[in-house]
Structure 1
Amino acid sequence: MANPLSPLVFLKLGGSLITDKQRPYTPRLDVLRRLAEQIAVARQENPTLRLVVGHGAGSFGHVPAKRYGTRQGVHTPQEWLGFAEVWKEAATLNRLVVDALLEAKLPIISLPPCAAVTADDGRVAVWELYPLRAALQAGLLPLIFGDVIFDRRRGGTILSTEDLFEHLARHLRPQRILLAGIEEGVWRDFPHCTELVREITPADIEAGRLQLGGSQAPDVTGGMESKVRQSLALVQAIPELEILIFNGEKPDAIRQALAGENIGTRLHA
């Protein structure tokens, strides 16, 4: 049973990291296995670590989501068919992630957001968190993912892992949120990518010291600029929180981040 006072960390395995975003429905199984092994090592090094894992939809869910415009709203029979297709692809990738983590002897338990979350105009309105809290208390690793969600105004929508983490963070108060993708972090000069920004605060944006760029992989839920703005809003709301955006492809990067090291770009209040 986990100690509720132990450090809590949220880790997202980005869709660009665990799938080939340029090739539809293509998982990167070798990468998934390597990431799972690093998480297992980090937990061996720090058995008290409490961890919520999330993953993106990558080249699975984003394909039908873009075709049907699911994030913007779901109303017609054709759009509801698309909603179901996005659900299927997100669930398919989720099963691959579960398999990889269980193979590494990690006590993972998937908690599909579609069945637990209600949205209102693209934001979490209701989420019964008892199962997730109980999983953490039992020493399990709750796994969530970007998923289709029933929405009071839009009919249906998609919430990204970052959207879900934002809501969870306000209720569970993690020390860190780790966003692992294929970028080194946030580039000052994207797409040239020669100058990495090591640290970002809300004041940097307000003072105009940083112009936000994009990322290599297409993403129907917003991409890098959206990720940074959402993260900065969250660290303003939770000043003790820090968020890392980093390259999960690098050997040992996941373990380092879980061990508390600062890699990639660090966002804080």
Structure 2
Amino acid sequence: MNEPAPLIFLKLGGSLITDKHGTSTPRPEVLRRLAQEIAAARQVCPHLRLVLGHGSGSFGHVPAKRHHTRQGVSTPEQWLGFAEVWREARALNDIVVQELCAAGLPVIAFPPSAAILARGAKVSDWDHRPLQAALDHHLLPLVQGDVAFDHALGGTILSTEDVFEHLTLLLRPQRILLAGIEAGVWEDFPACTRLIPTITPAAFPALSSHLGGSAAVDVTGGMEQKVTSMLALIQRQPGLQVLIFSGEHPGNLQSALCGQNPGTLLLGD
């Protein structure tokens, strides 16, 4: 019996596919190129199995910050804000799906707001079998940063990393690729002159004080939080690798999908 092809999770960061300094401002040319690079990688590696995800960028993060949605939802005004964040996340998701389809990719969206229940801003209940079926039929499942109903908080926001964390323990990917606008993790942020090639859990404490947050509105944590959560996930799944890299440079995404490491690689000790 043949072993299944390696599975990769890929996140297109909100800072990459939107202008996070604006409001509800997509970057269609960038998104179109990224979609074409994914399609090209599938041509080169036809057995590639991929779960896609994307952030909310200037769509969801702005109203989420205004309404403090991630911290919890209880009042009528907060529930109106919850619905506003959902609309913005949905609008960006529609744009992403359109560009992926235009590149010939068999994408099918699985919005967390329709399928996931959270507890304390973490995934609690999710029947992932439809997403697994999409993979089994060689489709491209797409998740996103989105609102979710929460047993403890009423409502909250789940980042793509939150969703990936839960899926990782179920589907066991070999690699998680986080494509953003930074070349990787900088040792000297915000000067950004010394890129860290690899980070392990043992080495991270000495580096964490140098890492920065996000340069724009981001309600789900900046770079330090991203690295911290991914290293914790690596410790829970030995052998997992996480690559943080720039999707701004043409060819980087295709290279990463085909096994190269154009950025900072997170791996176990």
TM-score range, shorter chain: over 0.9
Q: Which runs of 5+ in 2 are unaligned?
A: none
CA distance in 2, matches of 1:215, 1:97: 22
Aligned pairs, number? 266
| Distance change (3 Å), C-alpha of 1:4 and 1:168 | farther
* C-alpha RMSD over aligned residues: 1.0
Q: What letter corresponds to residue 106 of structure 1 in structure 2?
A: L
Can you list the C-alpha shifts for 1:73-127, whole angstroms capped at 9, x where unaligned? 0000000000000000000000000000000000000011111101011111111
TM-score in terms of structure 2 length: 0.97
- Unpaired runs of 5+ residues, structure 1, are none
Letter matched to residue 84 of structure 1: A
- Secondary structure of the 1:235 match is helix
- Residues 21 and 139 of structure 1, relative CA distance in 2, 3 Å threshold: same
Identical aligned pairs, as a percentage?
62
Measure the CA separation in 2 of the matches of 1:70 and 1:202. Answer: 31
SS at match of 2:203: helix
Q: After TM superposition, where is structure 1 displaced by more than 6 Å over at least 4 residues in a row?
A: none
Match of 1:245 in 2: 244
Aligned twin of 1:181: 180
Q: Which residue of 2 aligns with 1:231?
A: 230
**1:54 matched residue in structure 2:** 53
* CA distance in structure 1 between the partners assigned to 2:37 and 2:3 by the alignment: 23
Distance, in Å, in 1 between the alignment partners of 2:259 and 2:184 is 16
Which amino acid in the other structure matches residue 154 of structure 1? L
Matched, 1:34 2:33: yes
1:135 aligns with 2:134: yes
3-state DSSP of counterpart to 1:202: coil
Equivalent residue, structure 1, for 2:145: 146
Q: CA deviation at 1:209?
A: 4.6
Q: CA deviation at 1:190?
A: 0.5
CA contact (8 A) 2:214 2:221 kept: no
Once the two structures are superposed, the pairs formed by residues 1-269 of structure 1 within 5 Å of their partners are 5-206=4-205, 208-211=206-209, 212-269=211-268
C-alpha distance after superposition, 1:148-193 (max 9, x if no partner): 0000010000000000000000110001000000001111011111
Give, in angstroms, the shift of residue 239 of structure 1.
1.2
State the AA in 2 paired with 1:173: R
Maintained 8 Å contact 2:213/2:221: no
**Residue identity opposite 2:130 in structure 1:** P
CA contact (8 A) 2:72 2:155 kept: yes
Separation of aligned partners in 2, 1:103 and 1:185 = 29
Normalising by structure 1, we get a TM-score of 0.97
